[in-house]
Amino acid sequence: MTSAAFPALRLRRTRTHAWSRALVAETSLGPADLIWPLFVTEGEGVEEPIATLPGVSRWSVDRIAERAREARDLGIPCIALFPNTPAALRSDDAAEAFNPDNLICRAVAAAKAAAPEVGVLTDVALDPYTAHGHDGLVDASGYVLNDATVQKLAAQALVQAAAGADIVAPSDMMDGRVGAIRSALEQAGHANVQIMAYAAKYASAFYGPFRDAVGSRGLLKGDKKGYQMDPANALEALREVALDLAEGADHVMVKPGLPYLDIVRRVKERFEVPVFAYQVSGEYAMIEAAAAAGAGDRDALMIETLMAFKRAGCAGILTYHAPAAARLLS
């Protein structure tokens, strides 16, 4: 630590010029820090804007392939795909989730064919496929069943891996699912498929626009507090991370992002593993709304928040701003 004091020490000195600010910057942010979440819908040549996520659309599979090439050209290393399953294919047993030719599997294959050098991440959870909008199977009382769901999640991860997914990301918050997915992948010959565990995923009010995007908002019965974490808890997040790492997760994620940077920091310091954060749909929508209301400059708000994730210790950030940020940063 420095022992100098004012006026020998003037911390403003290095802030005087852009070049010296650049020299002493402690954190860097670039396109390679970003994962771009994309929504998939049926059809061909389709782009469907999402009203509660201004600037974000659902794309048909052929146009997902274009987005994969766009990611490559922008230097974004990975895209994350989420399906808007047609209503007729949603059911109580989520059968469509295990169909090897479902929308997400076709999108994965198209993305990998179009831009093989871009990583493809898929979400493992049943909510885009269930008639009730929950992430797992539900019993007659409305309880989301843990162990029965875990078996289904392992089957879901297998069809995604077979389609070419590079990272499977369980976002369901069932206990024991990372271990079950890891051993299913191992047995099926997918030893190198990575698992990014949504390890500390909170029952958050920031997911609304996402649920519009995947079409589950109107379907959801009740809330997800019986499996997603209580925003009051931090020690419990550390236990979740420890479990997921012990079960074979390669990366862990904290979600939502900005309101939970304390969790990111604690996880990074405790475990020294790659930590990712998901700047979720409601966070994105808040920035867009603030900019539209004239409360701040959208690009500046975007870059400042993304830098905050990196400063807190993130290896990378899932953000709907990924293409816009990458354009500004490159």
Active-site residue numbers?
Answer: 201, 255
The whole-angstrom separation of Cα 199 and Cα 195 is 11
- Closest distance to ligand PBG from the beta carbon of 217 (Å): 9
85 contributes a contact to ligand PBG by CB under 6 A: no
Within the chain, what is the greatest distance between any pair of CA atoms? Answer: 72
Give the contacts of 147 (CB within 8 A, at least 6 positions apart).
176
- Closest distance to ligand PBG from the beta carbon of 320 (Å): 7
Write out the binding residues for ligand PBG, residues 125-144 only, by CB under 6 A.
Answer: 125, 127, 135
210 contributes a contact to ligand PBG by CB under 6 A: yes
207 contributes a contact to ligand PBG by CB under 6 A: yes
The string of DSSP letters for 8-32 reads T--TTGGGSSHHHHHHH-S----GG
- Closest distance to ligand PBG from the beta carbon of 4 (Å): 46
The whole-angstrom separation of Cα 161 and Cα 191 is 10
123 contributes a contact to ligand PBG by CB under 6 A: yes
> Is there a cis peptide before residue 256, judged by omega within 30 degrees of 0?
yes
Per-residue CA distances from 106 to 1, 40, 82, 119 (Å): 56, 10, 12, 15
Closer to ligand PBG by Cβ: residue 123 or 166: 123
Q: Which stretch binds ligand PBG (CB under 6 A): 56-64, 86-94, 122-130, 241-249?
A: 122-130
276 contributes a contact to ligand PBG by CB under 6 A: no
Closer to ligand PBG by Cβ: residue 36 or 207: 207
Q: Which stretch binds ligand PBG (CB under 6 A): 21-29, 41-49, 119-127, 145-153?
A: 119-127
- Closest distance to ligand PBG from the beta carbon of 219 (Å): 11
Percentages (nearest 5) of helix, strand, coil residues in the chain: 45, 20, 40
Q: For the chain, where are the E strands, in sequence order?
A: 34-41, 47-49, 57-60, 78-83, 119-124, 167-170, 194-201, 251-255, 275-279, 316-319
Residue 208 backbone dihedrals phi, psi, to 5 degrees: -55, -55
Closer to ligand PBG by Cβ: residue 189 or 222: 222
DSSP state of 258: G
Closer to ligand PBG by Cβ: residue 107 or 114: 107
Write out the binding residues for ligand PBG, residues 57-76 only, by CB under 6 A.
Answer: none
What radius of gyration do the chain's Cα atoms show?
Answer: 20
Closer to ligand PBG by Cβ: residue 211 or 268: 211
Environment class of residue 140 by beta-carbon count within 10 Å: exposed (0-12), middle (13-18) or buried (19+)?
exposed
> Is there a cis peptide before residue 77, judged by omega within 30 degrees of 0?
no
Write out the binding residues for ligand PBG, residues 158-187 only, by CB under 6 A.
Answer: 171-172
- Closest distance to ligand PBG from the beta carbon of 91 (Å): 17
103 contributes a contact to ligand PBG by CB under 6 A: no
The whole-angstrom separation of Cα 293 and Cα 282 is 16
56 contributes a contact to ligand PBG by CB under 6 A: no
From 85, 130, 281, 319, residue interacting with ligand PBG (rule: CB under 6 A) = 281
Total residues at interface with ligand PBG (CB under 6 A) = 12
Closer to ligand PBG by Cβ: residue 114 or 133: 133
Strands 119-124 and 167-170: parallel
Residues engaged in binding ligand PBG (CB under 6 A):
123, 125, 127, 135, 171-172, 207, 210-211, 224, 280-281
